[in-house]
């Protein structure tokens, strides 16, 4: 793919609609950025050759930075976070259709299987957090 010479004039018309993604300054902008990230995850997944993969990566970094500055999250991995949310909301393995069957939830919690992109997005939507929490 040929690289184009980017000038301020050439990017000006595109910057307005996406600028909020790169300077999250409040909860409303954060929520919009998370929703857009979820749509990118749906489209891009883990395909690092997808044309929007760089945007997905950059947006994830911006969101992570905002979360570190403004949201307190425990320092733990995806499984610990899932268990935390289950305990916090009084959920059993059978209460998480976002992952699948009770057996599928047990497999994830025990580390036998990893969460899929679809499951990560669904859990992020359910618990109103960044998908990065489950990655």
82-102: average pLDDT = 92
Do 2 and 24 meet the contact criterion of CB atoms below 8 Å apart?
no
108-129: average pLDDT = 91
- C-alpha–C-alpha distance, residues 114 and 88, integer Å: 22
Residue 74, pLDDT score: 59
113-117: average pLDDT = 91
73-84: average pLDDT = 82
Local confidence band at 19 (pLDDT 50, 70, 90 cut-offs): confident
Residue 17, pLDDT score: 83
- C-alpha–C-alpha distance, residues 100 and 106, integer Å: 10
Closest among 90, 95, 40 to 63, alpha carbons compared: 40
Long-range Cβ pairs for the range 78-82 (8 Å, 24+): 78/115, 78/133, 78/134, 78/135, 79/108, 79/109, 79/111, 81/133, 81/134, 82/108, 82/109, 82/115, 82/123, 82/134
Q: Provide the CATH number for the domain formed by 78-134 in this structure.
A: 1.10.260.40
Task: List the single range of 10-14, 33-37, 62-66, 79-83 with lowest mean pLDDT.
Answer: 10-14
- Please tell me the pTM assigned to this model: 0.52
Domain limits, the chain? 8-70, 78-134
């Amino acid at each position: 793919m040929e690289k184009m010479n980017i000038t301020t004039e050439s990017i000006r018309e595109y910057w307005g609609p996406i600028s909020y993604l790169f300077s999250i300054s409040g909860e409303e902008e954060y929520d919009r950025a998370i929703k857009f990230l979820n749509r990118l995850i749906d489209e891009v997944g883990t395909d690092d050759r997808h044309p929007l993969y760089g945007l997905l990566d950059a947006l994830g970094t911006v969101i992570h930075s905002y979360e570190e500055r403004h949201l307190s999250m425990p320092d733990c991995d995806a499984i610990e976070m899932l268990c935390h949310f289950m305990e916090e909301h009084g959920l059993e393995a059978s209460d998480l259709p976002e992952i699948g069957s009770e057996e599928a939830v047990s497999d994830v919690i025990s580390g036998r299987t990893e969460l899929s992109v679809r499951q990560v997005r669904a859990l992020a939507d359910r618990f109103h957090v960044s998908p990065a929490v489950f990655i």
